[in-house]
Structure 1
Amino acid sequence: MDLATTAAVVTGGASGLGAATAAALAARGATVYALDLAGAIEQVSTGDGGGSTGDITYVATDVTDAASVRSAITAAASGDAPLRTVVSCAGIGPSARILSRRGVHDLDLYAKVVQVNLVGTFNVLAVASEAIARTEPDADGQRGVVVNTASIAAYDGQVGQAAYASSKGGIVGLTLPAARDLAQYGIRVCAIAPGIVDTPMLATVSDEFRAGLAAGVPFPQRLAKPSEFADLVTMIVEHDYLNGEVIRMDGALRMAPR
């Protein structure tokens, strides 16, 4: 599928994986709508704390709020370019053990992680698919593609990752049935399961700790770059026969319990 002269939505688009993906899609000619929380958008260097920069328009959105997502998708689908691409990168990753010296895992925290990472992703998938289904198909019958973000924690969840691994395991489980559900509309669905990526979430840790993380990766023995995630997104979008698949991007890493 050709990205030029189409519209794309990227959640979590103000930083990290989302920001890299938004930039990569814009570079290929897409009109990008980067959805994120208002506070995250305020950190983007656009001169006015939001709005548009180049072919990227920032839209304050809470992926767990149905009305907020519908408003953002409506804006993205209302332009001259047909909405073809949706990438969900929004997510959170707090750590807590099921049982620790502090007691039992907080149920509200568990529910929040699942609500943001899994329910939020489904919310965007469903609402965006409705909008994409209204577009005219291309010569091959395609209308669009959705790429969701899982994690290798879905397969190799570590100590303290019960909530996060549950939410990302849900993304893995969602991929094939979503692809089957949406096939009749010419919409493909895939997911990426990244390993350890050098995002702002790691900016506060020491160089020694980062080196230790990198040393655990078989090859290449380094952290992944957000741009590599973005490259994989664009490859999935442009590769018309990829559908219903979860792709690990982890340098052959298999996480240890700790």
Structure 2
Amino acid sequence: MDISGLAAIVTGGASGLGAATAELLTSRGAKVTLFDLNAEVGQAKAREIGGAFVQVDVTDASSVEQAIAQAEAAHGKARILVNCAGIAPPAKVINREGAPLPLASFAKIININLIGTFNVLSQFAARIFDAETLNEDGERGIIVNTASVAAFDGQIGQPAYAASKGGVVAMALPIAREFARYGIRVNTIAPGIFWTPMLAGLPQEAQDSLGKQTPFPSRLGHPGEYAKMVEAMIANPMLNGEVVRLDGAIRLAAK
């Protein structure tokens, strides 16, 4: 699939992995619309890359429906979707006082990371399942979702996060199989420890310590390296229904 000239949507596109992906896709000639809750940062990033921005709550069906319509009005039918929106607050099942994690806290993480991902990809696919094909293979589009290595080796304090990302991993293959008839590929990236705005607030010493947990290269992953994997997935038509760990061979310890 040739990226140049295609319309793309990146959720969580205001910062971190999403922003780096939006920058790379733009540099390859895509017309990018950023979806994010943070309007101020999202609008600034959209201006920077010459793209569009829509404030979106990925957990709300009508919000996503309206946002996709706005993106289409700006750039035409999007053929590339990269889902990067997500949260990762730590939360143990039982705290030190023996109180259980409030169900609403668990549900919020599942709702944003898993249900939000499904909400956007389902409505994206509904807009292009009968669109004109893009090449001789009959491709119509591609979806790249973001999981995490926590889906496979989640740590203490990550039950909700690991469950949400495990769900993203688990749905990759069945959705890819369903969408095969429409020429829409579905892949998932499971990053290891990457530099994101969530880590930016930590002292440099703490960031370096986290990076050294990665066997090689022994550092935090760069958001641009995630974006390069997105590009590779778009370019290779045989990569479908797959989950790729992008983690420098790290396997997370229990804590």
The amino acid that maps onto 1:190 is N
Match of 1:96 in 2: 91
Whole-Å Cα distance in 2 between the matches of residues 78 and 130 of structure 1?
A: 16
**Superposed, which structure 2 residues align to 1:66-77 within 5 Å?**
66-77=61-72
| Cα distance in structure 1, aligned partners of 2:163 and 2:123 | 23
What is the identity, as a one-letter code, of the residue corresponding to 1:43?
A: V
Q: 1:119 is matched with which residue?
A: 115
The CA distance in 2 between the partners of 1:113 and 1:54, in whole Å, is: 30
Identity %: 49
- 1:2 alignment partner, SS class: coil
Name the SS of the counterpart of 1:99 in structure 2. coil
Q: Which residue of 2 aligns with 1:163?
A: 160
Q: CA deviation at 1:135?
A: 1.7
Decide whether the 8 Å contact of 1:77 with 1:83 is kept in 2. Answer: yes
Aligned position for 1:134: 130
Go from structure 1 to structure 2 and tell me whether the alpha carbon gap of 1:75 and 1:100 turns closer, same or farther (over 3 Å shift): same
Q: 1:54 to 1:15 in 2, by over 3 A?
A: closer
Distance in 2 (alpha carbons) for counterparts of 1:44 and 1:188: 27
Aligned to 2:27: 27
Output the CA distance in 2 between the equivalents of 1:236 and 1:108.
Answer: 35
Measure the CA separation in 1 of the matches of 2:169 and 2:242: 9
Q: How far does residue 215 in structure 1 lie from its aligned partner after superposition? A: 1.5
Q: Residues 155-199 of structure 1: CA distance to partner in whole angstroms, max 9, x if unpaired?
A: 010010000000000000010001011111000000000000011
Number of aligned pairs?
253
- Look up the SS of the partner of 2:53 in the other structure: strand
Matches within 5 A, 1:107-256: 107-138=103-134, 139-256=136-253
Q: 1:233: how far off?
A: 0.4
Residue 66 to residue 204, structure 1, CA distance change in 2 (3 Å): same
Task: Indicate conservation of the 8 Å contact 1:74/1:131, yes or no.
Answer: no
* SS of structure 1 residue aligned to 2:34: strand
Offset at 1:54?
Answer: 4.0
CA gap of 1:78–1:163, structure 2 versus 1, over 3 A, is: same
Checking the alignment, whether the CA contact within 8 Å between 2:196 and 2:223 is kept in structure 1 is: yes
Cα-Cα RMSD: 1.4
Structure 1 residue 59 and structure 2 residue 54: aligned? yes
Is residue 34–residue 46 contact of structure 2 (8 Å, CA) maintained in 1? no
**Aligned 8 A contact 1:51 1:59 in 2:** no
Deviation at 1:44, TM superposition (A): 4.6
Distance 1:149 1:80, change over 3 A: closer
Report the TM-score, using the length of structure 1 for normalisation.
0.94
Deviation string, structure 1 residues 53-91 (Cα, Å, up to 9, x no partner): 443111100000000101111122335644210000000
CA distance in 1, matches of 2:206, 2:75: 47
Choose 242-251 or 203-212, whichever is displaced more. 203-212
Any gaps of 5 or more consecutive residues in structure 2?
none
Please report the TM-score for the alignment, with normalisation by the length of structure 2.
0.95
Secondary structure class of the residue paired with 1:148: strand
Unaligned runs of 5+ in 1: none
Task: Name the CA distance, whole Å, in 2 between partners of 1:80 and 1:230.
Answer: 21
Q: Is the 8 A contact 1:5 1:81 kept in 2?
A: no
Secondary structure in 2 matching 1:218? coil
Letter in 2 for 1:19: A
